[in-house]
Amino acid sequence: MQSRWYYRPGTYPGTKKSTAFVLDSALAETRGCVEGMMWFGSESRGDVWGCVGIWFSGSYGSGYGSYVAHVKSVVRSKPWRRWPG
């Protein structure tokens, strides 16, 4: 998980000091997005893949299609189940 302090003010220095904090912060933001509690209103309610795209691009509805497609392909192929080599 990456979290840049300039995109998420108030999370630094916690994000520098603690991997657990970064994960908690990212998942809290994602949950808020899926529940429709983001700054752009309730458009994202229930849209998990839209919220994945928001994490990448910072906005809802545009600019993240290829990123979401890539993440979906990684999830489908499950590379974490194969032995590296």
| Confidence bin at 84 (pLDDT 50/70/90) | confident
pLDDT in tens, 6-51: 777 888 888 888 889 889 988 888 899 999 998 877 888 999 999 8
Specify whether the CB–CB gap between 23 and 31 falls below 8 A.
no
pLDDT at 25: 86
Sign of torsion, CA 50 56 59 61?
negative
Helix 65-77 / helix 48-57 crossing angle, nearest 10 deg:
120
Report yes or no on whether pTM surpasses 0.95: no
